[in-house]
A and B are shown apart, each in its own frame.
Chain A
C-alpha cells in the first residue's frame, strides 16, 4: 500500500505557491510533517484528502488517481483538519453516529466501533455531552475519534495534538503508534516531540517545498557533533546570536545565559550535546529564535 504524491503544486492567484512541486511516496507507518506556519502543510494535506484540487501534479493511492478512486479512496481515509467545527447541538455519541453513517458503516457496526473508540480517547463519560460544552482538548479528541471511526488505511492528521495537555499527548502518541501498523499515518505538528519517537520518517516543509525527508535517526545524525551548550554573559547574547544558530536559551544566576546552539566550530567553553529532533527542526527554522534573542536582549 502506498500513497504517492507526484510533483504536486498549489498556486493561489496571482502568484502564491502554497505547495511547490512536492513529491513523496508514503508507505505504512507514521510520517511526521514538520514546518513553520505557512509552510504549506495544511494545503498539502487537504489535497491529499481530495478536498482541495492541486494546480499541478497528481496524487495516487496504490497506483490510481485518488480523484478516480473517489468514494473508494475516501472509504479508506481518515482526516482530522487543523481547524474544524461541529454542529454545536450534537452530543458526542450522536455526532459519531452521524459521521459513521457518512462513512458508510452499518448502524450495528458503528455502535460496536464507537464504544471502544470513546474509551480510547477517554470520552466515555462525556458521550452524552453537547459538543459545544466540551473543552478545546475534548473537542479535538472527538475529532480524533471520528477520524479513526472507519479504521482508515490512510490517516491524515493536521496538528492533532493542538490543545491537548501533556498526558493526553502521550496517550495520543500511544494510540497512534498502535494504530499505524500496516497503515499510512501522516501527522503534521509544530511539536517535534509528538513525532520524534513514533515517526518512521519525517518530512520538513518550507515555503511549500519539501526540504528534508528522512528518519529521525538520519536527521538527528546530520547534527552529530554540531550541537553545543555554553554559558555566556547576557550582554554577549546579541553579538553571539549573529554568528551562531541558537536553538535554546535559559537565564542563569549572575546575569549569565545558558545557550544551546548549532555550529561547526564551538565558541570557547562549550560542551558537546547529543542532538535531538527539535534541534533538526530549529536548524531549518532559526528565525523565530533570533527574534527571541533580540527581544530578550
Chain B
C-alpha cells in the first residue's frame, strides 16, 4: 500500500501543472507574509524638529523599541502608571494632544491605554455618559480586571444574550484567560493573524485544483482502464490515491504555513506572539496569545483543507471532467466566506450550516477570538469545536466515498 502511495505521490509531483500551482502559491504566500510588515510606518520626531519616517521592517523594529519599557505583564500598577503619564501629558497640553505629542509621549504605552476603556464600571449601561480616559479614576484603573469582568458579564448577558450552559462555558473559558494580560507590541501581527485564513483559503484552491484531477483526468484520458485492470488497481489504488493526495496536501500545507510563519516572524518579530489576544479584543474570553491564535488558525485551517480535499476527491471520483469538478469545488470553498461576510447570515440554522461546511475551518480567526459580535455558541457548544468535529467527520466520510465511488466506476 505504501509503495503505491509513494509512486502516486511521485506521479502527482511530476505534473508540471502541480509544480506551477505550488510555485504560484509559494510566491503569493511570501507576498502575504511580508505585506503586514510592509505597511508599518512610524514617524520619529527629532530634537531639531525634523521628522524621520521609517517604513516596513525598520518601522517594526522602531515600534518594538519605542514600546519596550511597557513590555511584560499588564499589572494594575503598570496600567496606573500608563494612565498617570497620560494624564500628565493631557494636562501639560491642556487636552490638545496632537499627532506629534501622541507619537512622542503616548506611543510607548498606547496599547495599555486602549484597554482601559473597560476599566470604567458599567460601560454598557444605556444611561451612562460618554467615556473619558482622563476622568477615569485611579481606583477604577487599579480595578481594571474586576471592572472588565463585570463589563464582560453584562456584555455576555445583555448584548450577546448568552444564557444557560453557553454562558457557563463562556465564563469558564474566561476563567482560563491569564491575568494580568501579557503585553508586547504587535505591529502587523493583527493583520498577519487574518492572513493565516487567507493563505489557508489559497492553499485550499491550490489543492482543490490538484485533487480535482486525481480521478477525473485518468477517467478522461483512458489511463484508468489500464490501472483498473491491475491487481491492486481498484480499492487499494483508490485508497492510495486518496491517501497520497492527503499526504501531499499535508506536506504542502506545512511547507507553505512554515514559509508564512517564517516571513511573519522575520519581519514582525516574535516578541508579539506572547501578547494576550485581549489587546486585540479586550472583552474576548479567548484564553490565548497572539501566537496561540496563529497556531490554532493554522490547525483549524489544516483540518478544513483536508475536509475540502476529501470532498473534491469524492466529486472527482464521480466525474470525467476535471473542469466541472473545479467549477463545483471553488464555490464550495468560498461559500462559508460568502455566508459570513457577504450575505451576513444570522439565523441559527444557516450559521450552523456555514460552520459545518468542510471549508469553514479555513477562516476561523474571528470565531476563535469570539469577542465582538456573536460568541459563536450553539447552546453549550462553541462553534470552532463544531467546525473541527464536522470537518474531521467529513474527511473520513468523503475519503471513504471517494474510494468506494472509484472502485465502482465503470469504464463506459
Contacts and interface: CB of A to CB of B under 8 A. Distances in A.
A104 B221 CA distance: 23
Interface string B374-397: 000000000000000000000000
Contact of A71 (B11, B16, B231): B231
Nearest to B408: A53
Main SS of the interface on chain B? Answer: helix
Contact of B226 (A70, A97, A107, A146): A146
Contact of B223 (A46, A50, A51, A87): A87
Contacts of B218: 85, 87
A89 B14 CA distance: 6
Contacts of B16: 89
B232 A84 contact: no
Interface string A89-109: 110001001110111100100
B4 interface: yes
Contact of B4 (A53, A71, A94, A101): A101
B4 to A, nearest CB: 6
Interface stretch (A72-80, A223-231, A256-264, A285-293): A72-80
Contacts of A86: 221, 223
B225 interface: yes
A195 B211 CA distance: 43
B232 A103 contact: yes
A52 B411 contact: yes
B222 A83 contact: yes
A101 B410 contact: no
B222 A81 contact: yes
Interface residues of B, number: 27
B225 A102 contact: no
Nearest to A86: B223
Q: Which of A70, A80, A85: most chain B Cβ within 10 A?
A: A85
B228 interface: yes
A104 B225 contact: no
Interface in B217-256: 218, 220-223, 225-234, 237
Contacts of B221: 84-87
B58 to A, nearest CB: 45
A101 B11 CA distance: 13
B232 A90 contact: no
A33 B221 CA distance: 25
B28 to A, nearest CB: 24
Given A46-B411, A52-B411, A102 B222 contact: no
B52 to A, nearest CB: 54
A74 B411 contact: no
Contacts of B222: 81, 83-85
Contacts of A147: 226
Nearest to B412: A52
A32 interface: no
Contacts of B220: 85
B411 A85 contact: no
Contacts of A104: 230-232
Nearest to A46: B411
A102 B4 contact: yes
B26 to A, nearest CB: 20
A53 B222 CA distance: 17
B77 to A, nearest CB: 66
B229 A51 contact: yes
B15 A84 contact: no
Interface string B195-234: 0000000000000000000000010111101111111111
A87 B218 CA distance: 8
B357 to A, nearest CB: 32
A75 B231 contact: yes
A89 B15 CA distance: 6
B104 interface: no
Contact of A98 (B7, B225, B411, B412): B7
A161 interface: no
Given A53-B410, A104-B231, A87 B226 contact: no
Nearest to A51: B411
A5 to B, nearest CB: 17
Contacts of B231: 71, 74-75, 102-104, 150
B3 interface: yes
A137 B174 CA distance: 71
B7 A51 contact: no
A275 interface: no
A102 B233 contact: yes
Nearest to A105: B231
A83 B411 CA distance: 11
A84 B223 contact: yes
Nearest to A98: B7
A49 interface: yes
22 contacts: A49-B228, A50-B229, A51-B225, A52-B411, A74-B231, A77-B229, A80-B226, A85-B218, A85-B220, A86-B221, A87-B223, A90-B11, A98-B7, A98-B11, A101-B4, A102-B4, A102-B227, A104-B230, A104-B231, A104-B232, A107-B3, A147-B226
Given A50-B229, A84-B225, 8 more contacts: A49-B229, A71-B231, A79-B225, A86-B223, A87-B11, A90-B11, A98-B11, A101-B232
Interface of B: 3-4, 7, 10-11, 14-16, 218, 220-223, 225-234, 237, 410-412
